[in-house]
């Protein structure tokens, strides 16, 4: 189940947070999804397992409450997706991941059913599709399409570029991978998205090395 954990980590870290959280001055019903997302974010920042678990469980509770209050709220379903996903990977690889994965994906798909243009959900869905094996619902072609859509509509989206760069690199399209990773690095540095910088640097270096090896083998 390692690939499930890796895919979730990439999707949840990037797909959820490349946009600023809405302000907390909304009406109480509208604030529930924001509060649930904030719990997801705080849980990701926490270093202690007990604190992480507490944040994600509270986020799940708030997310479920938000969905119950307004089943037609895309943000409510997305907030629940975030916390379910983080709970799913809090202890790494587990055999129960398949069951949790289905529920998590149901919330993500419901988000996009309500608002097909929900960019955070599109980024998360695209990232999961290109990383998950086909037996778990992976679809590289569709995932690439969604990631490209996010990049077109959200020029500052870092995670979508990184996810697409990984696909290009694995396919041997190293120049394209370098361009995507380089752009992601610049955006991450400019926007001070510190979580992304090491990943972007590593991916850019990998694409450069692989590209150089590919050219050597052809010469």
Q: One digit per residue, pLDDT tens: the chain, 219 residues? A: 444 545 555 555 444 444 434 433 344 456 999 999 999 989 988 889 999 999 999 999 999 999 999 999 999 999 999 999 999 888 764 545 677 889 999 999 999 999 999 999 999 999 999 988 888 889 999 999 999 999 999 989 998 999 999 999 999 999 999 999 999 999 999 998 887 899 899 999 999 999 888 887 876
Residue 206 lies in a domain: yes
Structure tokens at 147: 């990631």
- Asked whether residue 64 falls in the same domain as residue 159, the answer is no
- Asked whether residue 133 falls in the same domain as residue 27, the answer is yes
The confidence score (pLDDT) of residue 16 equals 47
Residue 166 lies in a domain: yes
The percent of the chain in helix, strand and coil, each rounded to the nearest 5, is 80, 0, 20
Q: How far is the C-alpha of 118 from the C-alpha of 133, rounded, in Å?
A: 24
Terminal Cα-to-Cα distance of the chain (whole angstroms): 39
Q: How far is the C-alpha of 130 from the C-alpha of 139, rounded, in Å?
A: 6
The confidence score (pLDDT) of residue 57 equals 97
The confidence score (pLDDT) of residue 107 equals 97
The confidence score (pLDDT) of residue 100 equals 85
87 close to 116: Cβ distance less than 8 angstroms: no
The confidence score (pLDDT) of residue 47 equals 87
The confidence score (pLDDT) of residue 9 equals 53
- Asked whether residue 11 falls in the same domain as residue 55, the answer is yes
Nearest Cα to Cα of residue 56 among 73, 44, 74, 68: 44
- Asked whether residue 86 falls in the same domain as residue 40, the answer is yes
| Structural domain harbouring 86 | 2-119+128-138
Q: How far is the C-alpha of 36 from the C-alpha of 46, rounded, in Å?
A: 15
Q: How many Å is the Cα radius of gyration of the chain?
A: 17
Domain edge (last residue) among 138, 168, 195:
138
Residue 59 lies in a domain: yes
The model's pTM: 0.78
- Asked whether residue 176 falls in the same domain as residue 84, the answer is no
Counted domains in the chain: 2
Could you tell me which residues come within 8 angstroms of residue 13 by beta carbon, excluding any fewer than 6 positions away?
Answer: 44, 159, 195
- Asked whether residue 105 falls in the same domain as residue 207, the answer is no
- Asked whether residue 73 falls in the same domain as residue 167, the answer is no
The confidence score (pLDDT) of residue 215 equals 81
Q: Which long-range contacts (CB under 8 A, 24 or more apart) does 66-70 make?
A: 66/29, 66/32, 66/33, 66/36, 69/29, 69/32, 70/29
Domain edge (last residue) among 138, 170, 189:
138
């Amino acid at each position: 189940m390692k690939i499930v954990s890796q895919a979730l980590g990439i999707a949840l870290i990037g797909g959820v947070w490349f946009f600023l959280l809405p302000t907390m001055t909304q009406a109480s019903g509208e604030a529930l999804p924001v509060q649930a997302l904030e719990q997801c974010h705080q849980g990701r920042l926490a270093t202690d397992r007990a604190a992480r678990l507490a944040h994600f469980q509270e986020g799940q509770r708030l997310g479920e409450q938000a969905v119950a209050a307004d089943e037609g709220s895309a943000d409510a379903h997305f907030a629940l997706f975030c916390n379910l996903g983080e709970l799913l990977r809090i202890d790494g690889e587990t055999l129960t991941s398949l069951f949790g994965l289905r529920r998590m994906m149901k919330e993500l798909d419901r988000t996009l059913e309500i608002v097909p243009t929900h960019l955070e959900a599109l980024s998360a869905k695209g990232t999961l599709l290109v990383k998950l094996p086909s037996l778990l619902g992976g679809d590289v072609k569709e995932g690439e399409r969604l990631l490209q859509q996010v990049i077109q509509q959200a020029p500052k989206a870092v995670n979508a570029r990184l996810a697409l760069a990984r696909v290009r690199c694995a396919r041997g399209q190293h120049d394209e991978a370098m361009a995507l990773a380089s752009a992601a690095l610049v955006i991450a540095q400019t926007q001070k998205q510190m979580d992304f910088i090491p990943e972007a640097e590593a991916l850019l270096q990998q694409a450069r090395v692989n590209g150089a090896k590919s050219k050597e083998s052809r010469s």
